[in-house]
């Protein structure tokens, strides 16, 4: 959002790519029931399940992989071409970074051609001479087979999170340029038993949906700025969005099995919670004269800290002389632009630590009234 403002744009909000695509399909197509939005772009993969009824769009769950997309397929093609050249010429194909960039662009063009043709001829020129050859679609499919398996697993995870079976999904909606790859579409057809749906240019679904979302946000915040004709078309659209992960903090808890204290991850905002949302909870100090509370913002649904990611770790200094069991209030807020505000506060003294966290960029800004640092001490939860 800051980048948009610096660029001189009128930034009205942030929207998940699959959500934007779902809005576009809902408004422009006859879609009704549970749909799976399959968004495979150049650098990321997202899958969302939405319940669409007319212009009502309710996102049920979202998951994906930030490091899976068309560029990964390009790199595997580059590796194949480099290996082929090395074997035939005894020389490296790429002698410089510039050569590498050029061959990556060439690999991308081969990938695109393989979506239309079953065999593509190539020509490689390097210090060892020129090599000509052919690559088949079947060979390319083998190169990306592990990525296809990962996508299939993430689709199954989304279905499990939504409590759906494959047969519950009315349509699979394709989004993103890499969703054109025949092996991807074949994988989805095998999973669901029917062809996935693409409307128009799959590269444009997100941007068109984002434009519609911008209209919805303007209609909500500044209705006077929306043309009457456009407002009439958007007024009946209802969108329900969810958070993609669970968020919590690390505390001391009580294990009923071992009948002892244990360190645990306490999830405050559950995955797939409707946003915007706010959760408040009270924790308690562990011992007399505890001077510091360790304030961790975690990502993950497991109670085991080992299975969670600590996004931000800070410390809140407490006043001297507090007794054991002193309450410390914690508030987690997740807004519709996917920004979190986590407030840790000892209300009696006014001591407070605030963590502002951007979920989309994984950046944080911490503000505190207690600047001094001390050794770690944990919460105790009752």
List b or e across 307-320, with b for residues whose CB sees 16 or more CB atoms inside 10 angstroms.
ebeebbebbbbbee
Mind listing the pLDDT tens digit for each residue in 79-130? Answer: 999 999 999 999 999 888 888 999 999 999 999 999 999 999 999 998 889 9
Is pLDDT above 70 for 377? no
Name the average pLDDT for the chain: 89
**Residues 264 and 306 sit within 8 Å (Cβ to Cβ):** no
Q: Would you state the CATH architecture of domain 70-143?
A: Alpha-Beta Complex (3.90)
16-20, 36-40, 78-82: segment of lowest average pLDDT: 16-20
Count other Cβ atoms within 10 Å, centred on residue 250.
21
Please give the Cα distance from 150 to 129 (Å, whole number). Answer: 38
Homologous superfamily (CATH) for 2-67+145-241: ATPase, nucleotide binding domain (3.30.420.40)
Kindly tell me if the per-residue pLDDT of 172 is higher than 70: yes
Mean pLDDT of 7-25: 89
Alpha helices, DSSP H, located in the chain: 2-6, 17-28, 70-89, 97-114, 137-143, 145-162, 182-192, 205-221, 228-234
pLDDT band per the 50, 70, 90 thresholds, residue 181: very high
Task: Domain 247-380: give its CATH code.
Answer: 2.60.34.10
**Range in 10-14, 249-253, 320-324, 325-329 the model is least confident about:** 10-14
pLDDT for position 71: 95
The phi, psi pair for 93, rounded to 5°, reads -75, -40
Residue 66 confidence (pLDDT): 84
Domain spans in the chain, listed from the N-terminal domain onward: 2-67+145-241, 70-143, 247-380
């Amino acid at each position: 959002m800051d980048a948009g403002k610096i660029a001189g744009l009128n930034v009205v909000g942030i929207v998940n790519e699959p959500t934007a695509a779902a809005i576009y399909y809902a408004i422009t197509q006859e879609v009704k029931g549970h749909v799976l939005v399959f968004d495979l772009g150049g650098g990321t993969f997202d899958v969302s399940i939405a319940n669409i009824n007319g212009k009502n769009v309710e996102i049920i769950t979202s998951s994906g992989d930030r490091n899976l997309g068309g560029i990964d397929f390009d790199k595997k093609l580059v590796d194949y071409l480099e290996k082929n050249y090395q074997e035939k010429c005894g020389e490296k194909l790429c002698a410089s970074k510039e050569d590498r960039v050029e061959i990556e662009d060439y690999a991308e063009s081969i990938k695109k051609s393989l979506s239309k043709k079953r065999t593509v001829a190539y020509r490689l020129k390097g210090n060892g001479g020129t090599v000509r050859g052919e690559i088949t679609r079947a060979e390319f499919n083998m190169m990306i087979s592990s990525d296809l398996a990962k996508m299939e697993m993430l689709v199954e995870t989304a279905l499990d999170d939504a409590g759906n079976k494959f047969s519950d999904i009315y349509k699979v909606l394709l989004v993103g340029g890499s969703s054109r790859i025949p092996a991807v579409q074949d994988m989805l057809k095998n999973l669901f038993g029917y062809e996935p749906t693409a409307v128009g240019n799959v590269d444009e679904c997100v941007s068109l949906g984002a434009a519609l979302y911008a209209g919805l946000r303007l209609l909500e915040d500044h209705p006077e700025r929306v043309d009457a004709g456009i407002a009439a078309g958007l007024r009946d659209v209802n969108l329900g969005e969810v958070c993609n992960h669970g968020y919590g903090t690390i505390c001391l808890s009580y294990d009923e099995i071992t009948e002892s204290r244990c360190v645990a991850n306490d999830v405050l905002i559950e995955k797939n919670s409707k946003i915007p949302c706010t959760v408040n909870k009270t924790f308690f100090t562990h011992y007399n004269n505890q001077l510091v509370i360790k304030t961790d913002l975690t990502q993950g649904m497991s109670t085991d800290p080992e299975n969670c990611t600590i996004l931000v770790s800070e410390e809140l200094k407490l006043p001297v002389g507090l007794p054991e069991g002193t309450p410390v209030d914690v508030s987690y807020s997740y807004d519709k632009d996917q920004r979190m505000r986590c407030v840790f506060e000892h209300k009696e003294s006014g001591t407070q630590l605030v963590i502002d966290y951007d979920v989309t960029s994984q950046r944080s800004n911490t503000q505190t009234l207690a600047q001094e640092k001390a050794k770690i001490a944990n919460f105790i939860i009752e």
